[in-house]
Amino acid sequence: MHDRFPDFRLGKVLATSFTATLTERRGDPVERIPVPRRLVDWLAVSGLAVQSCTTAQLELARELRESIHAVLTATASQEDLPASAVQVINACSAQGRAAAILTPEGNRQWRLSSPSCVEDALGVIAADAISIVAGERDGKLALCASPTCRAAFFDTSQSRSRKWCEMNTCGNRQKKARFNANKRP
């Protein structure tokens, strides 16, 4: 159906899964939400289903995404948070009106104020980023060791020594590169 679009890189953390909709920022960037329809798809698989999305909403989503990326990168590097990025995150968080709903099975679901309210979904993502940066969750922000990636990821491993945003992509590529380098005479 969406064969001509790049796949999503989905992780366990909402905010970093969202920033991973643009990958290889320091290499040849891959935009994984190139059209509004793909943001709708991404939100659906992330538990924030909306019925539609406008071009303006997609632009807002990308602005939030890059702001989260900037703030997570600064946090991982122990640098001051960029003020303009903080502003965008706070504005999105304040604008969202999603409600946390407890299911009979004891799971949390998000209920948006209307089925087309992308802003509500972005509010949930912004709040997720805030909770990570504020240190409310068990884990540590780190930057991917791949020089073409440098994505910020949330390391929840016991040793807090994870090197790559994803073992299957950046990790394997790095391993292969090292293997090939060793093979050279």
Report d(CA 146, CA 153) in Å as an integer: 12
Of 98 and 165, the one with the shorter C-beta distance to Zn ion is: 165
Query: Mutual orientation of helices 36-45 and 55-76 as an angle, nearest 10°?
Result: 60
Q: In 3D, which of 6, 3, 22 has the Cα closest to residue 165? A: 22
Secondary structure (3-state) at 167:
helix
What is the nearest approach in angstroms of Zn ion to the Cβ of residue 165? Answer: 3
Hey, which residues between 152 and 181 contact Zn ion (CB under 5 A)? 165, 170
64 lines the binding site for Zn ion (CB under 5 A)? no
Of 73 and 146, the one with the shorter C-beta distance to Zn ion is: 146
**Interaction pattern, residues 115-154, with Zn ion; x per rule: CB under 5 A:** -----------------------------x-x--x-x---
Secondary structure (3-state) at 184:
coil
Taken in order 153, 154, 156, 161, is the CA torsion positive or negative? Answer: positive
What is the nearest approach in angstroms of Zn ion to the Cβ of residue 152? Answer: 10
Write out the residues near Zn ion by the rule CB under 5 A: 144, 146, 149, 151, 165, 170
